[in-house]
Amino acid sequence: MRKPIIAGNWKMNKTAAEAKELVNELKPLVKDAECDVVVCVPFTDIYAVAEAVKGSNIRLGAQNVHFADHGAFTGEISADMLLEAGVEYVIIGHSERRQYFGETDETVNKRTLTALAKGLKPIVCVGESLEERETGKTEAVLKAQIVNGLKDVEDITKVVVAYEPIWAIGTGKTATAEQANETIAFIRKTIAENFCPKCAEKVRIQYGGSMNAKNAHELMSMPEIDGGLIGGASLKAEDFSIVVKM
Ligand code: 13P
């Protein structure tokens, strides 16, 4: 009942020319996909990729959005700027933003509320560090990220949640399918308890962290996992298309 969504998070990779090349390679490979296919590209690639995906089933995403409409926020990008450029999805609160750029549950919340109000589809990232997992804090950390990060969201079904354990990102160390499934089930329960039980069943929750052509099938066959947020493996058309077809 939940349509899977596979999104590539290109992070800070690909110039506009390289982006166009990658998308053109990807288009025929994913054209029959049964899931939603999204590429979240750097800001400077957005116009080139918007043009390249026209008429295809690939949807365009960005990697951040500011909460203000406009103003003195050097280096930031507004929802209107993204929308005008053809962006539909936006990643919010990726652990790299939290770790290196001071993103907090509060700023995640503000960005998410603005994205929703403007009609962008937020992909909100949550996840625990290795230390938090090893000291038994995973559930408390995730609960705080969900409750505070999604505070005041009226229609939670419009949000895609990405569960990305920090220790699995870019490390080649994936959570086991059971671990990911169990943790995502906990996230869904948290949404049910703090927002609305019926809606929780409709919220799509992705797994992210070293997901690739080899392990995607096992992860995607788990009942709670509704897709993936793919980093490294989304930079190669062939690999990403294999994940999409799982
Ligand atoms: P990797 O797939 O490279 O581990 O990155 C995951 C990620 O952070 C996606 O947002």
pLDDT at 4: 98
- The DSSP code for 209 is S
Using alpha carbons, select from 89, 94, 95 the residue that is nearest to residue 115.
89
Element (H, E) at 127: none
Per-residue pLDDT at 242 exceeds 90:
yes
Count of alpha carbons within 13 Å of 185, Cβ hemisphere only?
A: 9
Q: Is 164 a catalytic residue?
A: yes
Structural domain containing residue 234:
5-244
- Mean pLDDT calculated for residue range 177-206: 97
pLDDT at 160: 98
C-beta 9 within 6 A of ligand 1: yes
Per-residue pLDDT at 170 exceeds 90:
no
Domain containing residue 177: CATH number: 3.20.20.70
Q: How does pLDDT run across 6-45, given as a tens digit for each residue?
A: 999 999 999 999 999 999 999 999 999 999 999 999 999 9
pLDDT at 155: 97
3-state secondary structure labels for all residues of 75-105: CCCCHHHHHHCCCCEEEECCHHHHHHCCCCH
Q: How does pLDDT run across 197-221, given as a tens digit for each residue?
A: 999 999 999 999 999 999 999 999 9
C-beta 127 within 6 A of ligand 1: no
How far does the centroid of ligand 1 lie from the alpha carbon of residue 237, in Å? 16
How far does the centroid of ligand 1 lie from the alpha carbon of residue 71, in Å? 31
pLDDT at 174: 82
Per-residue pLDDT at 175 exceeds 90:
no
Per-residue pLDDT at 122 exceeds 90:
yes
C-beta 145 within 6 A of ligand 1: no
> How many helices and strands (H and E) does the chain possess?
11, 8
C-beta 8 within 6 A of ligand 1: no
- Mean pLDDT calculated for residue range 139-152: 98
Q: Which residues contact 239 (CB under 8 A, 6 or more apart)?
A: 212, 213, 233
C-beta 232 within 6 A of ligand 1: yes
Number of domains in the chain: 1
- Phi/psi class of residue 114: alpha, beta or left (left: φ > 0; alpha: ψ in -120 to 50)? alpha
Rg, C-alpha atoms of the chain = 17
How far does the centroid of ligand 1 lie from the alpha carbon of residue 228, in Å? 9
Q: Indicate the SS3 state at residue 33.
A: coil
Q: Which residue has the higher pLDDT, 175 or 76?
A: 76
How far does the centroid of ligand 1 lie from the alpha carbon of residue 72, in Å? 31
pLDDT at 245: 93
Q: Is 66 a catalytic residue?
A: no
* Per annotation, catalytic residue among 66, 94, 96, 128: 94
C-beta 231 within 6 A of ligand 1: yes
Per-residue pLDDT at 153 exceeds 90:
yes
- Mean pLDDT calculated for residue range 161-182: 93
Q: How does pLDDT run across 49-72, given as a tens digit for each residue?
A: 999 999 999 999 999 999 999 999
- Phi/psi class of residue 214: alpha, beta or left (left: φ > 0; alpha: ψ in -120 to 50)? alpha
Per-residue pLDDT at 172 exceeds 90:
no
Q: How far is residue 83's CA from residue 239's CA, in Å, rounded to a whole number? A: 29
Q: How does pLDDT run across 79-100, given as a tens digit for each residue?
A: 999 999 999 999 999 999 999 9
